[in-house]
Amino acid sequence: MNVPAFLASALLAGSTVLTGCDRSSPAPTTPAGASGTPAAADVEANCAAQGWASQNGGTTGGGTATPTVVTTYAQLKTALTTATVKVVQVNGVITIPAGGRISLQDQAGKTLFGTAGARLVSTDQTQAGSGILYVKRCSNLVIRNLIFDGAGAYDVDGQDNCTIDACTNVWVDHCEFRDGVDGNLDVKNTSNYITVSWTKFAYLKAPRPDGPGGSDDHRFSNLIGSSDDATADRGKLNITFARCWWAPGCVARMPRVRFGKVHVVNSFFNSTSSSSGVQAGFEANLLVQNNVFEGVNRPIDLMANNSTAVQVTGNVFTSTSGNTAGNGKTAFAPPYSLSVLSASSVKAAVTASNGAGATVGGNTCVSSGI
């Protein structure tokens, strides 16, 4: 395992499974408007995030609070916008109506998760009508085991499948984000202490050309920081992407970073459609460690060469073209400990049946260790 010296003492030996989980099965709350017998509540998990989301007091979401089970858009919106609801369980497929993007604001200590096959779907490609979830000024939030299924890339300055705005301590685990109109999952505006683990990003639909924004192929997955002028982001946007999968269809922003200290570790990139993989933007401080890039064009994009540091270590590059090197500067030393896989083990782990994506079946952290 090729690991920087400053990380060697921090690595945890043995299992990649998160320990200390206290799982129980509390009775579900019947969602408003539901009829008949309420759907069964899924297994609950009381465990804490690793990576950057472990800092600043940690991230546990709604813990073992009784879940509110939702099966319709109206139930989902009510549960997410009601601060006293701490755990929201999505069963089945819920379609977000045009212009119905849900805004989750000013809440603390909440979990949103899906049971096996749960999916949130948007089919609107207009600027105002697109998007699934907008999270603003929230803290201690967990989003787990959900598929966010967008309408397809179209450059209309539309909405992301999910946007995290001015939030602290967010853990996105075992989700799949695909076919966002603008992006799949973007993080901006002083958001901080965020971990994205075991999550898959993909574009399955062909991009719609001739958008007014000028890009005929806006399959740009993850934007971290919205502008070089957003100087309030300095010292923020500290994010871990661990054991994630940037899958076929992704063209760029895997992720594109401004300002933040971002750790991209043990992740798999295999989109042959790519024009850029990890993109180092203004004042980005990037540690790109023990990942696998397969068939990717320009795996490491130094862009305008105005990053703080881009350190690329222990990665495997197979059938790639373009830059694979950092900028010669040493990145930040993560203040947390992870169990870091050797790059030779990454592809099998990430693409396994319980690997990246909505693969764990509910609100459980059994396979969520990093």
**pLDDT tens string 177-228:** 999 999 999 999 999 999 999 999 999 999 999 999 999 999 999 999 999 9
C-alpha to C-alpha distance for 36 and 42, rounded to whole angstroms? 18
**Average of per-residue pLDDT values in the chain:** 91
Q: Are 236 and 178 in contact (CB under 8 A)?
A: no
Whether residue 209 has a cis bond before it, omega within 30° of 0:
no
- Residue 6: is its pLDDT beyond 50? no
pLDDT at 56 exceeding the cut of 70: yes
In a domain, 369, yes or no: no
- Domain membership flag for residue 84: yes
Q: Does residue 172 lie in a domain region? A: yes
Contact (CB, 8 A) for 267 and 242: yes
37 has pLDDT over 80: no
Indicate whether 121 pLDDT > 80: yes
- The CATH number of the domain holding residue 82 is 2.160.20.10
- Asked if residue 364 belongs to a domain, the reply is no
* Six-digit token string for 10: 């921090």
Average pLDDT score over residue span 86-93? 97
Longest dimension (CA), the chain: 63
For residue range 99-118, list pLDDT tens digits in order: 999 999 999 999 999 999 99
Number of domains within the chain: 1
With beta carbons less than 8 A apart as the criterion, state whether 238 and 192 touch: yes
Phi-psi label, residue 343: left if phi above 0, alpha if psi -120 to 50, beta otherwise: alpha
| Distant-in-sequence, close-in-space partners of 277: CB < 8 Å, separation ≥ 6 | 246, 252, 254, 269, 293, 296, 297, 298, 299, 300, 301
Q: DSSP H helical segments within 234-367, as ranges?
A: 346-350
pLDDT at res. 39: 62
Tokens of 179: 């076919």
Q: Is pLDDT above 90 for 12?
A: no
Residue 136 located in a structural domain: yes
* Cβ density class 113-124: b for 16+ within 10 Å, e for less: bbbeebbbbbeb
Calculate Rg over the CA atoms of the chain.
Answer: 19
- The runs of H, that is alpha helices, within 218-319 are none
Give the separation between CA 302 and CA 323, rounded to whole angstroms.
8
Backbone angles phi, psi at 165, to 5 degrees: -125, 120
Q: What is the pLDDT of residue 123?
A: 98
Instruction: Flag whether 49 is in a domain.
Output: yes
Q: Is 66 exposed, middle or buried (0-12, 13-18, 19+ CB in 10 A)?
A: middle
Indicate the pTM of the whole model. 0.91
Write down the pLDDT at residue 93.
Answer: 98
366 — pLDDT class (breaks 50, 70, 90) = confident
Q: Is the pLDDT of residue 75 over 80?
A: yes
Helix, strand, coil percentages in the chain from 3-state DSSP, rounded to 5: 10, 30, 60
Alpha-carbon gap, residue 106 to 84, rounded angstroms = 12
CA-CA distance, 364 to 370, in Å (whole number)?
14
Q: Is residue 141 part of a domain?
A: yes
Residue 283: alpha-carbon gap to chain centroid: 21
For 133-163, write each residue's pLDDT tens digit.
Answer: 999 999 999 999 999 999 999 999 999 999 9
268 lies in which domain range? 5-350
In a domain, 140, yes or no: yes
Q: Do residues 228 and 240 lie in contact, with contact meaning Cβ atoms separated by under 8 Å?
A: no
- Distance CA(334)–CA(53), nearest Å, equals 12
Token digits of residue 30: 């019947």
Residue 339 has pLDDT above 50, yes or no: yes
* Confidence bin at 43 (pLDDT 50/70/90): low
The percent of residues above 70 in pLDDT, for the chain, comes to: 89
pLDDT attached to residue 42 = 75
By mean pLDDT, which of 35-49, 316-330, 335-349 is the weakest? 35-49
User: Stretch 280-298: mean pLDDT, rounded?
Assistant: 98
Question: Residues, the chain, total?
Answer: 370
